[in-house]
Structure 1
Amino acid sequence: MNLIIIFITFLLMECATWLIHKYIMHGFLWTLHRDHHDHSTDGAFEKNDYFFAIFALPAIALMYFGSLSHFNYLFYIGVGITLYGMTYFFVHDIFIHQRIDFLKNTENPYLLAIRRAHKQHHKHIGKGEGECFGFLWVPIKYFKMYFNKTK
């Protein structure tokens, strides 16, 4: 049952990510997210990186309070959120934005579709503009671009 809770939480985080990205990060917290779009930061870190801590706090709280009750469902929801956060970091920061040179020349159609959809998201530098707010699930047209290639 605990693995099911983790898995469902992980899946629901994709929906939450879309909503948070579109309405919060491109909404009232645009001041933290803007430098991720306009690249106005010179250093290795952006204001956008504060979202790591903002999103980690609920997961930490859930795991803490869930562990006090002999590792109840709250703990496993926190684990699901944490696993999604780790996936987000590796795919978004390392793979897509190449903060570490990794999988730069991949030919994997799924990874290329994710990278392309994210590139489409970043072509808009304004707060109110945008598309592709999701992360692991992107519009089908991007998958078709890479899965329908003939070699």
Structure 2
Amino acid sequence: MNWATGLLLFTATIVGMEGFAYVAHRWLMHGPGWFLHESHHRARQGNWELNDLYAAIFAVPSIVLLLGGVQLGWWPGFAWIGAGIAAYGAIYFGFHDIIVHKRLNHRYLPKSAYMKRIIQAHRLHHVVETKHGTVSFGFLWAPKPDELKAELKRRDRAGVRAPVRSADLPVD
């Protein structure tokens, strides 16, 4: 397979993974897979949460496609697709786990309108603690925050966590 075709497959896979992630997040994680994902909508205790198992689950197709395309004699395009899935996973980890949820300490402050929009949309997703009623399921594309706020308001803020009062905060 030539490089141009491989790069096209790789790029198309990354783009397609955003659609897959939206569907998986909305109808799997906030559906029958809520028993794992619920931990992600609660305050994390320690470094890990049950939701982290999704990273391992979603890595399996990437590993299988890379192995098949590189070592097992399958169609070479499978290696490019597997690499695209892995690249999306790395982008997701960098954006979601590091930038938004600060699982690694950093001082990054978003300056671009794009980064501000997707971070705010993800935070609006997390104001809902329940399985149903949340908004914004994508990771690299998100509706405008004003649209998301209007949708939460339209739903009468069902499932939205109560604001934390300063009296409820622990004293150091």
Q: Residues 96-111 of structure 1 correspond to what in structure 2 (within 5 A)?
A: 96-111=100-115
- Does 2:17 match 1:13? yes
Does 2:59 correspond to 1:75?
no
1:99 shift after superposition: 1.1
How far did residue 108 of structure 1 move?
2.2
| C-alpha contact 1:113 1:143 (8 A) present in aligned 2 | no
Q: 2:38, 2:51 within 8 Å by CA — same for their partners in 1?
A: yes
CA, structure 1 residues 109+143, in 2 after alignment: closer, same or farther (shift >3 Å)? farther
Query: How many Å apart are 1:100 and its aligned residue?
Result: 1.6
Q: CA deviation at 1:102?
A: 2.7
The aligned counterpart of 2:54 is 51
Once residues 64 and 90 of structure 1 are traced to their aligned partners in structure 2, the CA distance between those partners, rounded to angstroms, is 24
Distance 1:119 1:11 in 2: 22
Write the letter of the residue equivalent to 1:69: G
Runs of 4+ aligned residues of structure 1 deviating over 4 Å after TM superposition are none
TM-score (norm 2): 0.78
Secondary structure in structure 2 of the residue aligned to 1:88 = helix
Q: Matched residues in 2 for 1:143 and 1:126: separation?
A: 21
Q: Flag the 1:143–1:136 CA change in 2: closer, same or farther, 3 A.
A: farther
Partner Cα separation in structure 2 for residue 74 and residue 135 of structure 1: 24
1:132 has 2:109 as partner: no
What is the match of residue 62 of structure 1? 65
Identity of aligned residues (%): 37
- d(CA) in 1 for partners of 2:45, 2:126: 18
Instruction: Count the aligned residue pairs.
Output: 142
**Which residue of structure 2 lines up, in the alignment, with residue 27 of structure 1?**
31
Structure showing the higher helix proportion among its residues: 1
- Find the structure with the greater CA-based Rg: 2
State the Cα distance separating 1:110 from its structure 2 match.
Answer: 1.3
Q: Give distance in 2, aligned partners of 1:78 and 1:123.
A: 33
Using the size of structure 1 for normalisation, the TM-score is 0.88
Structure 2: which 5+ residue stretches go unaligned? 148-172
Deviations 1:120-147 (A, max 9, x none): 10011111121100010111x2499xxx
SS at match of 2:30: helix
Aligned-residue CA RMSD in angstroms?
1.7
1:87 maps to: 91
**Unaligned regions of 5+ residues in structure 1, if any?**
145-151
For residues 143 and 103 of structure 1, do their structure 2 counterparts lie closer, same or farther at Cα, with a shift above 3 Å needed?
A: farther
| Residues in 1 aligned to 2:6 and 2:111: alpha-carbon distance in whole angstroms | 35
